[in-house]
Amino acid sequence: MAQLRAAARAHAGKLGTVRFEDGRAIETHDVILTAAKALTKAAATTRTPVPSKERIKEDYENLNSAFRVQGAGGWICLTNAGNPYNKALAIVRLDPMRSKLSFEALSWPKGAPAADDRCVVPQNPGRPGARDATATRATELPATSD
């Protein structure tokens, strides 16, 4: 997160004002970083400067375990279908009197971030009735000055 804030400050003239309180800057960063990682992996494994879109999709769907992505919002682990597994989400509060958003906490579909950073996705992470797929709990973070 500190690196993301520093990069935003360094490029402020090009980017305009970047607000971190609603999580969109973090999500956008993580989406682009994940796509870049899949493209880089596909180019390396095919040994071609421009891999096919099918190969990029295949490598994108396997960004887990050893190929996990450390995003600004935490680890990004993808299922074999290319969906994020237990990805942190920003919880925000809207103050209608001031028309302002404020960051409140992060929440994970499993209730907490992974106990370790191995990024191992279960065989059937989204099956109906799976206890760990439905629990939620917000984890508060220290307040920031942004």
Q: Is residue 103's pLDDT more than 70?
A: yes
Judge whether 49 lies within some domain: yes
- Residue 140 confidence (pLDDT): 42
- Residue 146 confidence (pLDDT): 44
Tell me which residue range forms the domain holding 123: 19-140
**Comparing 4-8, 89-93, 100-104, 110-114, which segment has the lowest mean pLDDT?**
4-8
Judge whether 39 lies within some domain: yes
Judge whether 6 lies within some domain: no
Sequence-distant (≥ 6) Cβ neighbours of residue 104 within 8 angstroms: 91, 92, 93, 138, 140
pTM for this prediction: 0.63
Q: How confident is the model at residue 130 (pLDDT cuts 50, 70, 90)?
A: very low
Judge whether 83 lies within some domain: yes
Q: How confident is the model at residue 11 (pLDDT cuts 50, 70, 90)?
A: low
Mean of pLDDT over the chain = 75
Judge whether 112 lies within some domain: yes
Q: How many domains does the chain have?
A: 1
